[in-house]
Amino acid sequence: MEPTDRIIVALDFDNRRAAEEVVDRLGEECRFYKVGIELLTAAGPELIEHLVAKGKEVFLDLKLFEIPNSVAGAVRAAGALGVSMVTVHSMGGTGIMSAAADAARDFPRLRVLALTVVTSMTGSDLADVGVTGVTSTEEQVLRLAKLAEGAGVHGVIASPQEAGPLRRALGPDALIVTPGVTLPGESAGEHARSGTPRAAVDAGASHVVVGRTVTRAADPAAAFRLVRAGLEQ
């Protein structure tokens, strides 16, 4: 996979104008964008259709956590929009993940990814919500990843710190998408489990998600090239 194809830029904005400005400034540099619940709520599905029409791939990060029938319906709606990836929450269990995987079969380009443990969470956060019997966040990530694999989804979302253990557990074909990546010397922000793009890919990540590193830079295209250069070394 080419380095450019591994980089997903997160359009974490609260309005369409700001998102489109970044996309325009990146031009042909970037091929893959993440749209989350904030931007989807603010801009609607028309933005996704716009990105797809421009030849971009879209990672629709919905973290679906609902009854299986509702999850399947949302996945079909995502497929109809032309997105390339959509997320479900693995904590919802095998039922919703299987429903998502089944719904995606009608859309050959659509990949379903299961969120394991969000990158802002730590072991104490897991304990707060009643997750017991695990000794570390990594153990919970691996447990949920194996559950997701059994449900038939195409891959998982986890932090860069779990990329290596996940690759060993899931084999060479699974997608492993890692948000929470930062360039050396940058603040990790709200990410409790972060890492550099290069370290994530070296460990086994198939894709890295970068946000403010690129989108809040004075020159987003130059920042994107810096991330890409790190993966090319």
Q: Which residues have a catalytic role annotated? A: 63
| Integer Cα distance of 9 and 124 in angstroms | 30
3-state SS class at 134: coil
* Total Cβ atoms within 10 A of residue 108: 8
30 close to 7: Cβ distance less than 8 angstroms: yes
Q: How far is CA 7 from the centre of its chain?
A: 10
| Integer Cα distance of 50 and 21 in angstroms | 13
Partners of 176 in beta bridges: 156
| Integer Cα distance of 180 and 119 in angstroms | 6
The C-alpha R_g of the chain, in whole angstroms, comes to: 17
| Integer Cα distance of 58 and 56 in angstroms | 6
